[in-house]
Structures are given as structure tokens and as C-alpha cells.
Structure 1
Amino acid sequence: MSEPDRYISFCNIDCDNNANLLVSMLEHHLTANHGHAQWHSYFENKRQEQANMQRDNLNFVGNQLNMLYEYFRECEDQNALDLLYQIEQECC
């Protein structure tokens, strides 16, 4: 079986679950107080906007790609960075 290719089909690409996992990684870092305080207020505001607009986590990740890259780099979380890259390539 070939690698999933979003340009052909989203079949076999678990975008929603990967986005949910990435957001749980984000929440873990924020709860653990990792990174500068400005990130905490930034993501708190963005997560509130997401809830108000009733958007799913994939939408959130797609809209916050650059900020998530910066935050996870600051947290030195290579697993989160790898997952974020995978989501960007496969789902956004």
C-alpha cells in the first residue's frame, strides 16, 4: 500500500485524531507551565475563540501552525513538532 496522499484521498489519514492528540500535547505543556507566559495567554484566547466558534481541533491546528511550531520548539518537544509537521503535510 502506498503512502497516504491528501491530493488523491483523505482515506487512511487520521487527521481528526492526530489533531486531537496534538492539542492534548499542547494542553499538557500549558498545564505544566512550559514556555513563556505570553504563550499561555495567547493559546488560552485562541482556544476560547475556537470554542465560541464551535471549530474542531483540526481547524484550530491549521489556523495556528506557525504559532504551534514556535511554541513546541520553545518547549523542545520533538514528538509534537513531528506530529505537527505530519498534520500539516497530510491534512492542511
Structure 2
Amino acid sequence: MTRPIDAALNELADEFELLGDWEERYRYVIELGRTLAPLAEAERSEANKVRGCASQVWLVTEPQTDGSIVFRGDSDAHIVSGLIAIVLRLYSGRPAADIA
């Protein structure tokens, strides 16, 4: 069973709390972005592109048979990739109702 989003968010907040200043937190976000699984070139399509971002961002959604949704994503900007990793950590693999 997936733990509640609030618990995942609290864990993430605790990790950031351990880091000293904003520069360490910034570096940590970039490191999180480096953990993203690469997208196939075909997945970097217009259909998966997130509109309205200054950076290029792609988000792939994969509905699962159990009702959960797995997300994968990437960006051409290091910090944005890290932010994507945070969003995926919080929401990927959860039922649509929990995400909403």
C-alpha cells in the first residue's frame, strides 16, 4: 500500500530541513533531477509537452490496471528536472482520486 501523500510530503520537508542553506537545497533539487529515468526520444513529443513553461518539460502518464497512474518526466533545465522529480515522488503510482 502506498503511504499517504502527506507522509511523503513531510518526509521530503524533513530532508530539506537537514540541508543548511538555500544553495545546498538548490543542489539537492538538481541531484534529484539526475535520478529521473530518461525518456525515449519518441516520448519527447508535442502530446507529452507541458505548455506554459519557460523550460521544455515533458510528462508521460501511464494509467495502471489497479487504477493508479505512473508519471515519468524530463526537462531541458536541471532545476526543473529536480522539481519534476519531486512531483513524481509525491504523486506517481497513486490512484487518480488521491492525486486529485
**TM-score (normalised: structure 1):** 0.30
**TM-score (normalised: structure 2):** 0.28
Structure having greater relative contact order (Cα 8 Å, sep ≥ 6) = 1
More helix by share: 1
Structure of greater Rg: 2
More strand by share: 2
